[in-house]
Amino acid sequence: MKRILILTGITLAALTLLPLQVAATPISTTINLNIVFAGNTPDGSAPWLRAQFTSSVGSNTGTLVLNSLMTGPDFEQGLSSIKSTVGWAFYLNQALSPSGIMCTAGTCAGNGALYSASGFNTGPVPGTFNLAFGWAPSGRFLAGDTATYDLTFLSPLTGNPFVENDSNWSSVAHVQGIAGNCSGWIVSGDGTGAEGSGPCTGGPPVTVPEPGKLGMFGLGLLFAGLFLGLRRRYN
């Protein structure tokens, strides 16, 4: 009888611990944006951006860390009232709660970190991306920057929520500032249609003289013309 009670106790303990072990199954995924879909190639070598998500099966929360591995003047922006395209976006197969995105450290997306089931404008890159980040001109996501976000989901996680969309892309970003005057769309995933055009050929931005400088320049041309006219007359 004593042996039966001991075996029963062991069985009950195992059944009690089993759900805890399942709930503690870790979730860890890394997303590298290393393909130029359209536009120009960012400075430095791929991957240019990296996202890392950690959580566990059965949890309603997880941590997303965004990393810029770019070099030079390249930056992320987007999601402002003037520029509707995203700076950096992902596709989730599990919905976030209405207040489920909170920046806890780093260069937070000042123009917004938003979730929308209907998706966002991601320029030439096809498919739906429902989690988007945008930085303001005064707080761009620059080379070497990081940002840490706590994500809260509507239901417990059953696995990695960061997956590929219906076009087989898992993430997209619009890199600006390449060589000072170019941009490119970079992606992560197994989709098709990559059509990057290579290094930036736009050159430095064109500088337009201020009105005062234009006036001085015109006055200088006038004096030069008078001088040449007088020189021809007396020769």
Phi-psi region of 179 (alpha: psi -120 to 50; beta: other; left: phi over 0): left
Q: Where are the beta strands (DSSP E) in 156-207?
A: 169-178, 182-189
pTM to 2 decimal places? 0.76
Can you tell me the distance from the alpha carbon of 165 to that of 126, in angstroms, rounded to the nearest whole number?
Answer: 9
Q: Say how many residues make up the chain.
A: 235
Q: How far is CA 215 from CA 32, 194, 211, 229, in A?
A: 51, 48, 6, 21
pLDDT at 229 (0 to 100): 53
Q: Is the Cβ–Cβ distance between 25 and 55 less than 8 Å?
A: no
**Which pLDDT score is estimated for 208?**
39
Residue 110 to residue 205: CA distance in whole angstroms: 26
Per-residue pLDDT tens digits of the chain, which is 235 residues long: 445 444 445 444 554 544 444 447 999 999 999 999 999 999 999 999 999 999 999 999 999 999 999 998 999 999 875 456 899 999 999 999 998 999 999 999 999 999 999 999 999 999 999 999 999 999 999 999 999 999 999 999 999 999 999 999 999 999 999 987 899 999 999 999 887 777 776 654 433 344 444 445 454 545 455 445 545 554 4
Pick the closest to residue 125 from 195, 62, 213 (CA basis): 195
In angstroms, rounded to a whole number, what is the distance separating the alpha carbons of residues 195 and 197? 6
Q: What is the pLDDT of residue 230?
A: 44
Query: What distances in angstroms separate CA 21 from CA 14, 27, 59, 157, 160, one per listed residue?
Result: 10, 13, 12, 15, 17
The pLDDT assigned to 23 comes to: 46
CA dihedral 100, 104, 109, 115 (to 10 degrees): -10
d(CA 143, CA 84): 22
Return the pLDDT at 204.
45
For 44-74, the pLDDT digits (tens) are 999 999 999 999 999 999 999 999 999 989 9
